[in-house]
Chains A and B, each alone.
Chain A
């Protein structure tokens, strides 16, 4: 079964450093997302991306965050200057279409620990 793959699975970084989380969505999917889950809390939407641009972002997704689809397969989340509160599991997701009922597939996640 096709799957969303993410790298790295775990990254430890110092506060203030830049981090790039990488994702390879399912190949025929057109909609891409990043969600995050702080330990013990709920899964939260960060951003959605369609047709090479951001279609929606949450209030969490401030100026220190950016997303990019640098080529035909990768989808990245960059955090420019990490803060302690950015420590979380970041999930990349993709879907074939945005229609109701269309399954959103999640990657296995990237644990980010900011120290």
Chain B
């Protein structure tokens, strides 16, 4: 089983609608989760970080975490064409010296249709 799994998409959503992106992870010990946005040919850009079960909202973005189901999702409300990108789920893993490395999923390509 892959450590971090995402549907590759593409996921097409009409402008103004809610986009829902999903991620599952295999390590039950994982405590925190990141969502990054990556435009084509660009670097990952952090959108959200969540470590508690439940919802975390930041503007149009809501991250949802369910540790019992090993599932984390990202909702984008009022989707805009500028939200068209690949969304990466990432799980940090402690590697010593107070340090962590990120394990990324393959990403879900989201297209917002005007």
Contact = CB atoms under 8 A, between A and B. Distances in A.
Interface band, chain A: 20 to 34
Nearest to A3: B43
A109 B99 contact: no
Nearest to B34: A104
Contacts of B32: 100-101
Interface string A39-67: 00111110010110001100000000000
Interface string A86-110: 0001010000011111011111110
Interface residues of B, number: 27
Contacts of B51: 100-101
B71 interface: no
Contacts, number: 63
A4 to B, nearest CB: 9
B100 interface: yes
Interface in B47-97: 49, 51, 88, 90, 92, 95-97
B42 interface: yes
A41 B42 contact: no
Interface string B101-112: 111111100000
B31 A106 contact: no
Select the residue from A43, A44, A98 with max chain B CB neighbours within 10 A: A43
Contact of B99 (A31, A35, A44, A106): A31
A43 B96 contact: no
Contacts of A99: 98
Interface of B: 31-32, 38, 41-46, 49, 51, 88, 90, 92, 95-107
10 contacts: A42-B107, A43-B38, A43-B88, A48-B95, A91-B44, A101-B51, A103-B49, A104-B46, A107-B43, A109-B42
